[in-house]
Amino acid sequence: MSKEQPDIQNSSEGELRSKRGSPGGFIIHHFIMGIALAISMMTTLPFFKIHDFFKGINGYAVMSYPLVGALLGALLWLIYTLLLPLFPEAHLHIILFVLWVVLTGALHLDGFSDTVDGLFVPKERAEAVMKDPHAGGMGMIFSITFLIFKASSLWFLDAIYLLPVILMLSRYNAVLAIYFFPYIRKEGMSTLAKQEFTQKQLLLSSLFVLSVVLFTKSWLLLAFSLLTLLLVKRFFIKRLGGFSGDIYGFLIEITELVLLNILLIGVSA
């Protein structure tokens, strides 16, 4: 997740409350704006595009990451269902993979590539290399390899209906990482999000995720998703002392790949 943070208006919460009326209306407004921000930042969908931002909605945006993932997965599943009578199934899986990349704007893949570049330099230079807007050789090579692996995983996947769960859990890992683990940059897209993300918002996000997992009986997928988070956390805490926006993207991509392959070996519940 290495997209730049949009400009944030400095309107005080008091001014915003006076404009929005009651405290309840103020919270609902922030909640809706947070969802719109999450969709705007994490997808290329031509809806809810926000150009003016203000402090106070970033925590709600983080809370909405799993919802955005579930919506993206549901959209992919819907497209698959609609196109299934028209295309050979193998070709349709490739169409689905291309749409997966396009709908996310390759945002998390960009974070994956930058993170890989940072792994091939000394620790002292890693953060500077990851912030460099130019893709490095190792990042490009590993990204291409990763995409081939991910495309192959989707090619052989039968349980397309679980894509909403996969995309939801991968983004829930980013939510947990933002709340629980250190952030290594003093400024950046995720700095304000981490500052504003509250325990109550984490609980609401977790309730949504657990409800979907309960409905789909995907407890083992949740377990493997959390295991992936802990392994990635252990590595980057030891190497860099924490996470960054790029590492959040790396985490999302790795979690998706792990869960796809868990399904391939027959674990879905």
User: Residue 172: inside a domain, yes or no?
Assistant: yes
b/e sequence 154-184, b meaning 16+ C-beta within 10 Å: beebeebebbbbbbbbbbbbbbbbbbebebb
3-state SS, residue 243: strand
CA–CA gap between residue 251 and residue 109 (Å, rounded):
10
pLDDT score recorded for residue 197: 92
What pLDDT is attached to residue 107?
85
Secondary structure letter of residue 132 according to DSSP: -
Sequence-ordered list of residues with C-beta below 8 angstroms from that of 75, at least 6 positions apart, any chain? 103
Q: Could you tell me if residue 27 is inside a domain?
A: no
Q: What pTM was estimated for this model as a whole?
A: 0.87
Residue 20 lies in a domain: no
Give a yes or no: residue 6 inside a domain.
no
Residues of the chain with pLDDT under 70: 1-26, 48-54, 188-189, 267-269
In a domain, 51, yes or no: no
Can you give the pLDDT at residue 26?
A: 62
Whether residue 166 lies inside any domain: the answer is yes
pLDDT at 6: 46
In a domain, 250, yes or no: yes
Distance CA 131, CA 253 (A): 18
CB 28 within 8 A of CB 7: no
Is the distance from CB of 220 to CB of 267 less than 8 angstroms?
yes
Amino acid, single-letter form, for residue 166: I
Number of domains in the chain: 1
Instruction: Give the type of residue at 92.
Output: L
User: How far is residue 97's CA from residue 28's CA, in Å, rounded to a whole number?
Assistant: 35
Range of the domain at 171: 64-264
Evaluate whether residue 96 is within a structural domain: yes
